Amino acid sequence: MTDYFSYNPGTDVIPSGAFRISPSQLSKFFDSTSQWYREHLLGEAPAFTGSTASELGNCVHAAAHMYFDTKSVDKQAILSYINSITNPDVDKSILRAQIKPMIETLINQFLKLNVGTHAEYFAHTLISPGVYAAGSIDMYDERKATIYDFKTTGSLDTARIPTSFPRAYWFQQMTYAYILRQQGLPVDYLKLVYITRDNTGRISEKTGKPLKDYPSECHIVTELVTQDSLDLIKGVLKLIAASVTTWQSNPELRYLLAQDYRLFSPSKPKLFT
């Protein structure tokens, strides 16, 4: 039976002991360098452990995968998953209220109109000896040479929906484009599929009057895959792979790589022979 709620780490594909560069974490290598090294090379617990928004995203992703496989959604399985969440930071009442309208929006406004060839496709490619770039693509259509990524958002109006790829998503999805190209698969377009929350039936706490309704909607943002973009991503992946190799072979340089002086370790004195 397919587990629609667990992330596929690719342990059956990536060789044991190899380092995996996660596309979703690529921008953090530059934006939160110390944290990236501590989590991925020192094995420290991630600072982020989940939220209402991230769990809502998990539920919608699961529904999309279910629909791809069976043309239906097991809403009881999704409710059971919600009930199993123990994270106190997650408001399960919001999840229960949002999954029906948001899933219906995703199906009616997108999935019925766009049939992919792959769902939750684990893509990987070797970057350097012992270092891979790998992760799961939400949906890929080989016929249209397009990668789709589902994003949930709480925006109340379309003016707050991004009109271009946010930095982190650009790094993530362009990495997937690079990986698929390395596998000989066509990729010309990246599409972010935003599903907004259903903000209807709300009452103002100040006036007691009904607030304007914003039903759940689906919005798509498109990015063209260019050779310049792929070359940039290739360089970034090569840089990260070289940094990981240097980290492993030169422990005395770790504080420099991670930009974190707390990792400084004095070099052992060299003895004359």
pLDDT digits over 39-69, tens only?
Answer: 999 999 887 888 999 999 999 999 999 999 9
Name the β-bridge partners of 141: 146
Tokens of 184: 């000989």
Distance (Å, rounded) from C-alpha 19 to C-alpha 22? 10
Task: State pLDDT tens for residues 74-96.
Answer: 999 999 999 999 999 999 999 99
Q: Are residues 257 and 247 in contact, defined by beta-carbon separation less than 8 angstroms?
A: yes
Mean pLDDT of the chain: 93
pTM over 0.85: yes
Q: Which domains does the chain have, with CATH numbers?
A: 19-48+114-263 (3.90.320)
State the residue for tokens 């958002």: 153
Residue 267 has pLDDT above 70, yes or no: no
The model's confidence at residue 73, banded by pLDDT at 50, 70 and 90, is very high
Amino acid at 123: A
DSSP letter, residue 267: P
The pairing of strands 189-196 and 118-128 is unpaired
The model's confidence at residue 1, banded by pLDDT at 50, 70 and 90, is low
Distance (Å, rounded) from C-alpha 17 to C-alpha 8? 17
Tokens of 230: 């792929």
Residue 189 has pLDDT above 80, yes or no: yes
DSSP letter, residue 110: I
